[in-house]
Chain A
Amino acid sequence: MLPPTPARSAQQLFRRLLALPPPLRQRTFSILNRPPPNYSGHVPLTITERAGLAVGSAFGSLSNPYRHDLIAALGEATSKPYFITRLRHAMLKDPTGRRILSDKPRISSQTMKLEDLRKMPENSVGRAYAAWLDREGVTPDTRDQVRYIDDPEEAYVMQRYRETHDFTHAITGLPVIIEGELAIKAFEFANTVLPMTALSLFAIVRLKSEERKRFFEVYAPWAVANGLKAEEVVNVYWEEELETDVDVLRTRLGISKPPDLREIRKVLREERRAEREARRAREDLGAAGGV
């Protein structure tokens, strides 16, 4: 027997793997034997790959929150085995949710024409959505395609959740800055129980201390209370609700409007600027007075 070199032991292992009976060989889903995709863009992952993706995208999106593709990947990697199935069942239990799953509507700049939305009645959902998109400077096209969820219907549920995230922004009025996003994520966790929404709350470490205080005092309690008592937001057929009055829809869903974050920040910014001006004026006066 020759001494086992690395090449020879790899060869032996390979030969032993080939000696497996065919049913066992074909059953194992490995990187050498990937099943065909279930929908266009589908990438089937093994459990190890999915775990690696979850860990990597979690740390990656924490260090660079502008990496929306990593946040999307984190959402898909952590949604199985239970959470996306629970959300799919929640849609199947509701008549409107079933209609959404049957029609499978998509939100993009083709299906949501901003010119039409801006012409909608005052205080309607469509008008508020268009106004919010204009204020934040985003378009409906910035959402990634779902790739790592195996069942096509569950992949659609995840896609729908992602595409209607902006509508949640529109009816709560929370801005796209990190503080507003965290408040929305807390609300979504209480409402959809997707793990990615809870994991993204780790980004609280990136907030300034005063923002963090505001989050825990005002927005987190609002998010938890409203998310739990509200209806499932994923069951709202937004394409049909574009002309509904925003307050009427909010009452129907059971959501109360949180304090306007941009207003609060603007007011605080102006107060701080006024304070700074006053202090500088006093210093200048003092210097001029020659004390």
Chain B
Amino acid sequence: MSSPALLKRFLALPPSLRRSFWSSSARASPAGKPEIYDVVCVGGGPAGLSFVSALKSHSATQGFKVALIDSQDLTTSRTVNDADSYSNRCSSLTPSSLRFLKGIGAWERVNGDRTQAYHAMDVWDGVSGSKIHFDSVDKRSTGLLGAIAEMVPGSRFRASRRQYETSAEEAVVATMCENSSLASALLQRVKDFETEEQTAQVQMWDKTKVDSIDLGPEAEDEKSLDLSQWPIVSTQHGQIAARLLVGADGANSPVRQFAGIPSHGWDYNQHGVVATLHLDRTFSANELRTAYQRFLPTGPIALLPLPGNKASLVWSTTPQHAAKLKSLSPTDFTAAVNAAFRLMPVDINYMLATTTTTTDSQAEEFAWREAATPPSSTGLPPNFPHITGVQLGTPASFPLKMRHADTYTGHRLALIGDAAHTIHPLAGQGLNLGLADAEALAKQIVYGMEHGMDIGSSWCLDGYNSERWAANHAMIGVVDKLKKVYSAGSGPVVWGRSLGLGVVERLGPVKAAFMGAAAGVR
């Protein structure tokens, strides 16, 4: 056929087909129109999975058509039930996060033998040695007047035993759980919804990359669906439209970029070094465990207990120190970690700055310096364990930064978890804030459903924003200021922060208020 004839035939086509011929957007959807879902959750991490589970756990929302998209492979169980090896990525779950996980039925699917609850925290200053001890005794203290009365020497107020009578449940400060353990438990919970009645199945697409997110096309005529304000997610499985698009897709969230929500913050110029350590003592399951954290001028180092004789290390330090630590032999790494808890900062910096190539030199240096550094001068807690080894292959590091999105919601869009905020790990709050976000968003959607709202409208979503944004901002801000205050190596800042810590240590009710804030009391 000749070209002009072809052109005339083409121009005779109806407009919709003509337009679709020239359109370059991918339309692999077999139906031609995107499939509409109530909630599309991009991101299958703990925040996304717990959010979907929370929706499915409520009667008002269990009939929702939900899709979950993740680029990683979610189906393989990554947890190995070997009592001698633990993953180096562990999180500390606060009591309110645990309550949430129990409420959605995910906690019962976590292997209890691989979680460790701890009952006290010892935090001390690496420069001045001033320390603070947190445990459940302060939560049940007798008030501010009682605290002052107890400080009077010779008074009888010390006799109050009420604060020591706590149940095992109440005595827990937080619980350590491997991230992979939690993720597989949540995944199992989401899969189990398939067998439950009245609960619509969750469409789970893993190993699926989101190709693009756009707003839908204009309506072709008055009667057809207007998806121009709806987000359309394009993947290899086709296009889906979301009444509410939830971004749970991590710090570099494509959903947040699609929404055009700016995220402000700064990089900390620190790396978080993680590892799984072996301790000198084996603890049984019913013993009281303590978590330890020491604030060094280069960054805080924390020892978090795991079952048996294991512990998890989280050490925020300079990128140079992190690189040096990862290059050390296991013996030297163990000596360096012991040094970071027991020696003066000048010794720690010297040990990590030396470019010695002989292995095991760090261990000799540490042995000499430990003998010359009395524990009382550095504020070391009396029952601090010796670290005897490190699990091979577990030392790793990741860069630390602080980010907070300007808002968590947009039209038919919400952000939860790391997509919304990134925080310094010194207070163990990152995952807990994400779970709290998931809980709050689910609660808000349930409320919206029960009150007949369009769940994607700002009328419904503003409630989530107002509940979580300010609380998260305050937590991120306090953690950032703590990090900055404890970065000073000498001078009046050290004196001031030691004085403040000493005062808080003696005022039980003030300490209990801080513990409550960190535990996410709601």
Q: Roughly how many angstroms separate A16 CA and B368 CA in the complex, as a whole number?
A: 46
Interface band, chain A: 10 to 19
Q: Does A89 lie within 8 Å of B372, measured CB to CB?
A: no
Q: Does B154 lie within 8 Å of A92, measured CB to CB?
A: no
Report B61 CB to chain A, min CB distance, Å: 56
Q: Does B346 lie within 8 Å of A20, measured CB to CB?
A: no
Contact partner of B350 among A16, A19, A92, A153, CB < 8 A?
A: A92
Q: Does A21 lie within 8 Å of B350, measured CB to CB?
A: no
Report B500 CB to chain A, min CB distance, Å: 19
Which residues of chain B are near A93, meaning CB under 8 Å? 346, 350
Q: Roughly how many angstroms separate A152 CA and B373 CA in the complex, as a whole number?
A: 10
Q: Does A102 lie within 8 Å of B346, measured CB to CB?
A: no
> Interface digits, B148-181 against A, CB 8 Å rule (1 contact, 0 not)?
0000011000100000000000000000000000
Which residues of chain B are near A102, meaning CB under 8 Å? 368
Which residues of chain B are near A101, meaning CB under 8 Å? 372
Which residues of chain B are near A20, meaning CB under 8 Å? 153-154
Q: Does A24 contact B (CB under 8 A)?
A: yes
Q: Does A49 contact B (CB under 8 A)?
A: no
Q: Roughly how many angstroms separate A21 CA and B158 CA in the complex, as a whole number?
A: 10
Q: Does B393 contact A (CB under 8 A)?
A: no
Q: Of all chain A residues, which has the CB nearest B354?
A: A95
Q: Does A270 contact B (CB under 8 A)?
A: no
Q: Does B154 lie within 8 Å of A151, measured CB to CB?
A: no
Q: Of all chain B residues, which has the CB nearest A101?
A: B372
A101-B372, A102-B368, A151-B377 known; A19+B154 contact, CB < 8 A: yes
Q: Roughly how many angstroms separate A151 CA and B344 CA in the complex, as a whole number?
A: 14
A101-B372, A151-B374, A153-B372 known; A21+B153 contact, CB < 8 A: yes
Q: How many chain B residues touch the partner (CB < 8 A)?
A: 11
Which residues of chain A are near B154, meaning CB under 8 Å? 16, 19-21
Q: Does A42 contact B (CB under 8 A)?
A: no
Q: Does B153 lie within 8 Å of A98, measured CB to CB?
A: no
Q: Does B153 lie within 8 Å of A89, measured CB to CB?
A: no
Q: Does B347 contact A (CB under 8 A)?
A: yes
A-facing residues in B318-354 (Cβ within 8 Å): 344, 346-347, 350
Q: Roughly how many angstroms separate A3 CA and B372 CA in the complex, as a whole number?
A: 56
> Interface digits, A261-273 against B, CB 8 Å rule (1 contact, 0 not)?
0000000000000
Q: Does B153 lie within 8 Å of A92, measured CB to CB?
A: no
Which residues of chain A are near B153, meaning CB under 8 Å? 20-21, 24
Q: Roughly how many angstroms separate A152 CA and B371 CA in the complex, as a whole number?
A: 11
A20-B153, A21-B153, A151-B377 known; A98+B158 contact, CB < 8 A: no
Q: Roughly how many angstroms separate A285 CA and B347 CA in the complex, as a whole number?
A: 77
Which residues of chain A are near B372, meaning CB under 8 Å? 101, 152-153
Q: Roughly how many angstroms separate A58 CA and B160 CA in the complex, as a whole number?
A: 51
Which residues of chain A are near B344, meaning CB under 8 Å? 89, 92
Which residues of chain A are near B347, meaning CB under 8 Å? 92
A-facing residues in B408-453 (Cβ within 8 Å): none
A21-B158, A102-B368 known; A92+B346 contact, CB < 8 A: yes
> Interface digits, A11-55 against B, CB 8 Å rule (1 contact, 0 not)?
000001001110010000000000000000000000000000000
Report B216 CB to chain A, min CB distance, Å: 65
Report A19 CB to chain B, min CB distance, Å: 5
> Interface digits, A130-163 against B, CB 8 Å rule (1 contact, 0 not)?
0000000000000000000001110000000000
Most chain A C-beta atoms within 10 Å of own C-beta, residue among B153, B344, B347, B368: B153
> Interface digits, B54-84 against A, CB 8 Å rule (1 contact, 0 not)?
0000000000000000000000000000000
A-facing residues in B203-246 (Cβ within 8 Å): none
B-facing residues in A164-185 (Cβ within 8 Å): none
Q: Does B346 lie within 8 Å of A89, measured CB to CB?
A: yes
Which residues of chain B are near A152, meaning CB under 8 Å? 372
Q: Roughly how many angstroms separate A159 CA and B377 CA in the complex, as a whole number?
A: 21
Q: Roughly how many angstroms separate A275 CA and B319 CA in the complex, as a whole number?
A: 73
Q: Roughly how many angstroms separate A61 CA and B93 CA in the complex, as a whole number?
A: 63
Q: Of all chain B residues, which has the CB nearest A24?
A: B153
Q: Roughly how many angstroms separate A24 CA and B368 CA in the complex, as a whole number?
A: 34
Q: Roughly how many angstroms separate A270 CA and B153 CA in the complex, as a whole number?
A: 74
Report B296 CB to chain A, min CB distance, Å: 15
Q: Roughly how many angstroms separate A20 CA and B158 CA in the complex, as a whole number?
A: 12
Q: Of all chain B residues, which has the CB nearest A153?
A: B372
> Interface digits, B126-160 against A, CB 8 Å rule (1 contact, 0 not)?
00000000000000000000000000011000100
Which residues of chain B are near A151, meaning CB under 8 Å? 374, 377
Which residues of chain B are near A24, meaning CB under 8 Å? 153
Report A122 CB to chain B, min CB distance, Å: 38
Which residues of chain B are near A89, meaning CB under 8 Å? 344, 346
Report A16 CB to chain B, min CB distance, Å: 8
Q: Of all chain A residues, which has the CB nearest B368?
A: A102
Q: Of all chain A residues, which has the CB nearest B154?
A: A19
> Interface digits, A84-107 against B, CB 8 Å rule (1 contact, 0 not)?
000001001100001001100000
Which residues of chain A are near B346, meaning CB under 8 Å? 89, 92-93
Q: Roughly how many angstroms separate A102 CA and B350 CA in the complex, as a whole number?
A: 15
Report A67 CB to chain B, min CB distance, Å: 32
Report A160 CB to chain B, min CB distance, Å: 14
Q: Of all chain A residues, which has the CB nearest B345?
A: A89
Report B81 CB to chain A, min CB distance, Å: 46
Most chain B C-beta atoms within 10 Å of own C-beta, residue among A16, A19, A92, A101: A92
Which residues of chain B are near A19, meaning CB under 8 Å? 154
Which residues of chain B are near A21, meaning CB under 8 Å? 153-154, 158
Q: Of all chain A residues, which has the CB nearest B343?
A: A92
Q: Does A98 lie within 8 Å of B350, measured CB to CB?
A: yes
Report B344 CB to chain A, min CB distance, Å: 8
Q: Roughly how many angstroms separate A93 CA and B354 CA in the complex, as a whole number?
A: 11
Q: Roughly how many angstroms separate A151 CA and B372 CA in the complex, as a whole number?
A: 9
Task: Given contacts A92-B350, A102-B368, A151-B374, list 16 more A-B pairs with CB under 8 A.
Answer: A19-B154, A20-B154, A21-B153, A21-B154, A21-B158, A24-B153, A89-B344, A89-B346, A92-B346, A93-B346, A93-B350, A98-B350, A101-B372, A151-B377, A152-B372, A153-B372
Give 23 pairs: A residue, B residue, CB < 8 Å, sorted on A: A16-B154, A19-B154, A20-B153, A20-B154, A21-B153, A21-B154, A21-B158, A24-B153, A89-B344, A89-B346, A92-B344, A92-B346, A92-B347, A92-B350, A93-B346, A93-B350, A98-B350, A101-B372, A102-B368, A151-B374, A151-B377, A152-B372, A153-B372
The 7 A-B pairs with the shortest beta carbon distances in the complex, nearest first, are A89-B346, A92-B346, A153-B372, A20-B153, A19-B154, A24-B153, A102-B368
Task: Tell me the A residues contacting B by CB distance below 8 Å.
Answer: 16, 19-21, 24, 89, 92-93, 98, 101-102, 151-153
